[in-house]
A and B are shown apart, each in its own frame.
Chain A
C-alpha cells in the first residue's frame, strides 16, 4: 500500500473528521461523556465541599471521621468487593456507576478542608451573632469566597471524568452508554476503527480515509476538550500541588 514515507502531507483534507462525525456510536459516546463529566463534576463538588466544610470546624467526632477518611487512602477493599457493592446498589449498567462510587477524592477533600480552615474565623463568627445558621454561612459566605478553589477542583474532577476508561469497561456492558475513552480504545489500540465507528453512510463508505488518519483524528477530537481547559488548569495546579504538600 504505502510507497514512501513523507514528512510533508501530500494533501490536506478533513475527510477523516467527516467520516468520524458520520458515525453514530462516536457521537453518542461523546454525548454520554459530556453528560457524565458535567453531572459527575457537579456531584464531586457538592459532596467534596459540603463534607470539607462540615469538617472544617472543631465538632464532636471530627477526629474520628478524618481518621476514617485517611484510612481509605491507605487501604481499599479492592476491585471485586467494590464491584459487588456497585452491583448491589443497582448502579451496574447505569452511568451513575461512573459518578457515585467516585464522588469524593479524599486528597481533594483534605485540601479543600484546609482552604476552608484558612478562611478568617471572624466572618463566620459575626454571621453567627447575626443569627445565620451554619448552612446559610456555608452558602452565602464560604462558597462565594471559594470560587477560585472550586474552579480549580472542578477542572481536576472534570478531566478525571473525561479521561476515565476503566470504570466504563468495569461497570457498563451496555454499549450505548460507553464513554468516549472506551470507544477510542477500540478505534486506536485495537485498530478496529471501521467496526467501532460503524459508519453506514454509503457515501462515506465509498471513499474511506486511511485508518491512521481516522485514528489520529479520533484522538484529536477526544483530546480537544483537555487542550481547551489546559491553560486554565495550568493556572491552578502548581498552587494546588503546593497546598497539598503542606501537612494538615
Chain B
C-alpha cells in the first residue's frame, strides 16, 4: 500500500503538468472547438440522444408516462419478435428482395461499364454517360410515379399490349403481387445503373492502354481483350463492392418500397423499414417498433463489420 501511495505522490506533479499541457493546447485551439461545436451538437442531439432512446425497446413506452414512468418489460419485445410469424415474413421479404437486387441490379452497372469502355468515340461516350447518370438525381416519387402511369390498367404499356399485340385484358402490373419484386429491381436498375458505373469506370481508367495494344498485336480480338484485360482489372473493385453490398442486405430502399406498397402487395412488399414505420408511427406501438429497429441495426452493424473484415482479409482495402 505505502509504496503505491508514494508512487502516486511522486507521479502527481507530472500528472498536473500533462493536464496543464492539455489545457494549454485546448486553449490554443479554442476557436477550432468553437467551429466544431454546432456539428457536435447536431451529432449529440440527433444521432446519440436517440441511441439513449433505445431503452424504450425494453419498456412498455407510453408518451404520457415518459421514459422514467413507463413500465420495464425486459426482453419481452425481443421474445415477441422471434416468435412472431409476421416478423418472419417481413424478414424474408427483406432478404429475398436484397438477394434479387444482388443477383440482377448489382451486375448491371458492371456490364454497362464494360460496354462504355468499348466505345471508340469519346464524345459519344460522354453523351451516353450524361444520359445514364441523370436518373440517379430524380426523386423516388418521380420514378415510381412514371412507372405507375405507364403500368396501370389504362396505362401506355397495357395499351400497347392490347392494341399492338392483341391482348384482350390488361395485366395488373401494380396489383398482382407477383410483379412487385421484379418491378422494384427494375426501378433500381433504371435509376442507378449509370451512377453505379462511375466506380468501375474509374478502376478501368487506371489500366495502361499499352496492355490493350500489346494484346491486339498478339492477335487478341475484342472479346479476348475484354475477358483477359478489362475484367481482371475490375475484379478487385467487383469483389469489394459485392462484399460491401452483402453487408447491407437488411436495407431495402425505404422510400421506393413505401411508395410501391399498396393493399394488394403488402404481404410480399412489407420490409423491415416499412414495418417499423407502420407499427411505430401509424399504430403508435413505439416500444415494439423500436425493438424491431434495434434488431435490424445490430444485425446490420455485425454484417457491415463482418463484410469489411472479410474484404480486408482478402487483401482489399476496407471502407472502415
Q: Measuring CB to CB, which residues of chain A are less than 8 angstroms from any residue of chain B?
A: 2, 4-5, 46-48, 50-51, 53-55, 57, 59-60, 65, 68-70, 72, 74-86, 89, 100-101, 103-104, 109, 133-135, 138, 159, 162-166, 170, 181, 184-185, 188-189, 191, 212, 215-216, 219, 222-223, 226, 230, 233-234, 237-238, 241-242, 245, 247
Q: Return the contact of A77 from the options B51, B259, B273, B305 (Cβ within 8 A).
A: B51
When distances are taken between beta carbons in the complex, the residues of chain A under 8 Å from B53 are 77, 80-82, 84-85
Query: In whole angstroms, what is the CA distance A212 to B254 when docked?
Result: 26
Q: Return the contact of B286 from the options A84, A100, A185 (Cβ within 8 A).
A: A84
* Contact between chains at A60 and B40 (CB < 8 Å): no
* Contact between chains at B36 and A50 (CB < 8 Å): yes
Other than the given A54-B39, A69-B43, A78-B297, 18 more pairs (CB < 8 A) read A46-B38, A51-B38, A70-B320, A72-B43, A75-B297, A78-B294, A79-B289, A84-B56, A85-B46, A103-B39, A104-B43, A135-B34, A135-B35, A165-B139, A166-B255, A181-B139, A189-B144, A241-B199
- With A74-B305, A234-B133: A189-B50 Cβ-Cβ less than 8 Å: no
* Contact between chains at B50 and A78 (CB < 8 Å): yes
When distances are taken between beta carbons in the complex, the residues of chain A under 8 Å from B138 are 163, 223, 226
Query: In whole angstroms, what is the CA distance A5 to B137 when docked?
Result: 31
Most chain A beta carbons < 10 A, residue from B53, B139, B144:
B139
When distances are taken between beta carbons in the complex, the residues of chain B under 8 Å from A100 are 42, 46
Q: List 20 A-B contacts (CB under 8 A).
A: A60-B26, A60-B29, A78-B290, A78-B293, A79-B273, A79-B293, A80-B290, A81-B54, A85-B53, A89-B45, A100-B42, A101-B46, A103-B46, A104-B39, A163-B138, A166-B255, A188-B145, A188-B149, A215-B149, A247-B319
Q: Which residue of A lies closest to B66 (CB)?
A: A88
* Contact between chains at A185 and B145 (CB < 8 Å): yes
Query: In whole angstroms, what is the CA distance A245 to B152 when docked?
Result: 41
Return the CB mask of B262-290 against A: 1 if under 8 Å, else 0. 00000000000100110011000010011
When distances are taken between beta carbons in the complex, the residues of chain A under 8 Å from B22 are 60
**Contact of B32 with A by CB under 8 A:** yes
* Contact between chains at A81 and B137 (CB < 8 Å): no
* Contact between chains at B146 and A219 (CB < 8 Å): yes
Q: Measuring CB to CB, which residues of chain B are less than 8 angstroms from any residue of chain A?
A: 22, 25-26, 29, 31-36, 38-40, 42-43, 45-54, 56, 63, 130, 133-134, 137-142, 144-146, 148-149, 152, 154, 156, 159-160, 163-164, 198-199, 202, 254-255, 258-259, 273, 276-277, 280-281, 286, 289-290, 293-294, 296-298, 300-301, 304-305, 317, 319-320
- With A5-B163, A77-B51: A222-B142 Cβ-Cβ less than 8 Å: yes
Q: Which residue of B lies closest to A53 (CB)?
A: B35
* Contact between chains at B259 and A185 (CB < 8 Å): yes
Q: Which residue of A lies closest to B25 (CB)?
A: A60
Query: In whole angstroms, what is the CA distance A42 to B47 when docked?
Result: 20
Query: In whole angstroms, what is the CA distance A43 to B115 when docked?
Result: 41
* Contact between chains at B40 and A77 (CB < 8 Å): no
When distances are taken between beta carbons in the complex, the residues of chain A under 8 Å from B152 are 191
